[in-house]
């Protein structure tokens, strides 16, 4: 039997309900903030990611899935969503309708990384972008939006780190000071950081090697070199977050791993996840559209790792029984015609209820076993004596309690059921 690819896990039927619930909550919250869904292709021209993400990044140099199509054009499976989304924004002139465009995308991304806990070669993101405004209020609202998502998902224990990495006017001075600091220390850097030193020195701040982190810890920090405009912008962002009672930690060495970021950068961390503890991150990227050939377009956004959110929710919940899901299993006993059960199940489905019937001639015991296996919260048992009285037995699968109810009222009684849980 051919097996799946390492680092590209299947999402099995027992798990998909959690994903659907997570995304449904996200769509609801994003709609309240005025965001509209966009769906971009899974693959794009390779040039889009080389120019958008940056040639000196690990993603472009090591991790992209790139191939030639039959026409000889170089194409790449999207390793992140922002470049694709901004390409679509410019190509379709989405900014013509509004000065501030709010978009989100949900879907798979692809990076050839070493598979480990919390890191996959195919992974899923909720990508959120606010395009068109340079002001600090947009930065603050984006952070508030993610906090709202955390509340809606019921996830606690997540902390926020923020920084400003300056812009084109002030970052070159910091880069020069940083390179000068590394001058006599370069021999202690890892092989990757030797390459970064030549191409993109600030990426050394994002290295996970202990020797490199120790060297970087003594380096000058970015805030020391911010221009007045960048300092004022960052101060305004922090002031808005303070006013909104959003807790955060300023991390003066936070740069994130993509070249397109400017000014505000941020990460949301869950310490319970260990080394791969980032559940979301993003920042401002005011120069990205220009890099792709468009006009100056200030923008900010973030990406949420769906796998890491789900893992965080499971870790928070701790060991527990698998929750029952909404729905009704229609069972028969005593030779009741299967057609009656099927007709009742159809009525329940038309009322919006998940429903199933026995199609294999099982005993009642076998039907109840299947109802539990499929995690049905309720069952309706059709027996000949009960049907003659116009009754049906309602069983709560959580505690085993049973009661007779009128068959004609069954659909109405079951129409209001608890929502599907994420974990």
Terminus-to-terminus CA distance in the chain, angstroms? 32
Tokens encoding 267: 């990460």
Among 310, 325, 306, residue whose Cα is nearest residue 420: 325
Q: What does the DSSP 8-state code read for residue 116?
A: B
267 and 281 in contact (C-beta within 8 Å)?
yes
pLDDT at residue 80 in the model: 94
Where does residue 310 rank: exposed (0-12), middle (13-18), buried (19+ CB within 10 A)? buried
Q: Whose structure tokens read 């001075």?
A: 173
Helix 82-91 to helix 46-53 angle (10° resolution) is 110
d(CA 38, CA 285): 19
Could you tell me where the DSSP H helices lie in 170-269?
171-182, 191-199, 210-217, 228-243
pLDDT at residue 175 in the model: 86
**DSSP secondary structure of 384-404:** HHHHHTTEEEEEETTT--EEE
Q: Where are the domains of the chain?
A: 13-170+226-317, 325-414
pTM to 2 decimals?
0.83
Provide the residue count of the chain. Answer: 423
Torsion of CA 58, 61, 65, 69, to 10 degrees: 150
d(CA 143, CA 129): 12
To which H or E segment does residue 16 belong?
helix 13-32
Listed as ranges, residues in the chain with pLDDT below 50 are 423
Could you tell me where the DSSP H helices lie in 292-405?
306-317, 338-350, 364-373, 384-388
Fold of 13-170+226-317: BirA Bifunctional Protein; domain 2 (3.30.930)
pLDDT at residue 184 in the model: 79
Q: What's the chain's average pLDDT?
A: 89
d(CA 174, CA 166): 9
To which H or E segment does residue 68 belong?
strand 66-68
Strands 101-110 vs 122-131: parallel, antiparallel or unpaired = antiparallel
d(CA 5, CA 25): 30
Residue range 325-414, CATH number: 3.40.50.800
200 and 207 in contact (C-beta within 8 Å)?
no
> Residue 25: CB partners within 8 Å, gap ≥ 6?
149, 152, 153, 422
pLDDT at residue 208 in the model: 78
d(CA 43, CA 78): 5
The sheet carrying 376-382 orders its strands as 355-357, 325-332, 376-382, 391-396, 402-406
pLDDT at residue 158 in the model: 93
Strands 159-164 vs 249-250: parallel, antiparallel or unpaired = parallel
Q: What does the DSSP 8-state code read for residue 119?
A: B
197 and 186 in contact (C-beta within 8 Å)?
yes
Q: What does the DSSP 8-state code read for residue 132?
A: S
248 and 241 in contact (C-beta within 8 Å)?
yes
249 and 268 in contact (C-beta within 8 Å)?
no
Strands 376-382 vs 325-332: parallel, antiparallel or unpaired = parallel
254 and 267 in contact (C-beta within 8 Å)?
yes
> Residue 337: CB partners within 8 Å, gap ≥ 6?
none
Bridge partners (DSSP) of residue 265 are 163, 283
d(CA 313, CA 270): 10
């Amino acid at each position: 039997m051919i097996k799946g690819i390492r680092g590209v896990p299947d999402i099995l039927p027992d798990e998909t309900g959690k994903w659907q619930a997570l995304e449904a909550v996200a769509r609801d919250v994003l709609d309240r903030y005025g965001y509209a869904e966009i769906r971009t292709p899974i693959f794009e021209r390779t040039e889009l990611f080389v120019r958008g993400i940056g040639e000196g990044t690990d993603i472009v140099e090591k991790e992209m899935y790139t191939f030639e199509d039959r026409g000889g054009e170089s194409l790449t499976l999207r390793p992140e969503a922002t470049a694709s989304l901004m390409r679509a924004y410019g190509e379709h002139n989405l900014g013509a309708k509004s000065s501030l465009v709010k978009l989100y995308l949900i879907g798979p991304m692809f990076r050839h990384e070493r598979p480990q806990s919390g890191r996959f070669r195919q992974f899923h993101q909720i990508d959120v972008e606010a395009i068109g405004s340079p002001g600090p209020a947009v930065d603050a609202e984006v952070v508030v939006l993610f906090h709202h998502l955390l509340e809606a998902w019921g996830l606690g224990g997540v902390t926020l780190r923020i920084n400003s990495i300056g812009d084109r006017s002030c970052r070159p001075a910091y880069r020069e000071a940083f390179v000068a600091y590394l001058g006599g220390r370069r021999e202690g850097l890892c092989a990757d950081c030797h390459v970064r030193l030549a191409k993109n020195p600030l990426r050394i701040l994002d290295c996970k090697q202990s020797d490199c982190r120790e060297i970087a810890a003594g380096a000058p920090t970015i805030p020391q070199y911010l221009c007045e405009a960048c300092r004022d912008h960052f101060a305004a962002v922090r002031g808005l977050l303070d006013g909104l009672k959003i807790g955060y930690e300023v991390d003066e060495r936070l740069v994130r791993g993509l070249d397109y970021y400017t000014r505000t950068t941020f990460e949301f961390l869950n310490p319970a996840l260990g080394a791969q503890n980032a559940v979301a991150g993003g920042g401002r990227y005011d120069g990205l559209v220009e890099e792709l050939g468009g006009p100056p377009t200030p923008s900010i956004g973030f990406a949420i790792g769906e796998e890491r959110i789900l893992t965080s929710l499971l870790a928070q919940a701790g060991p527990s029984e698998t929750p029952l899901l909404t729905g009704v299993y229609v069972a028969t006993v005593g030779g009741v015609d299967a057609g009656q059960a099927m007709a009742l199940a159809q009525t329940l489905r038309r009322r919006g209820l998940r429903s199933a019937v026995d199609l294999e001639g099982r005993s009642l015991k076998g039907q109840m076993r299947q109802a539990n296996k499929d995690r049905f919260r309720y069952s309706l048992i059709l027996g000949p004596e009960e049907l003659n009285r116009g009754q049906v037995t309602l069983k709560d699968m959580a505690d085993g309690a049973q009661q007779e109810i009128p068959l004609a009222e069954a659909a109405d009684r079951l129409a209001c059921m608890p929502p599907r849980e994420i974990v």
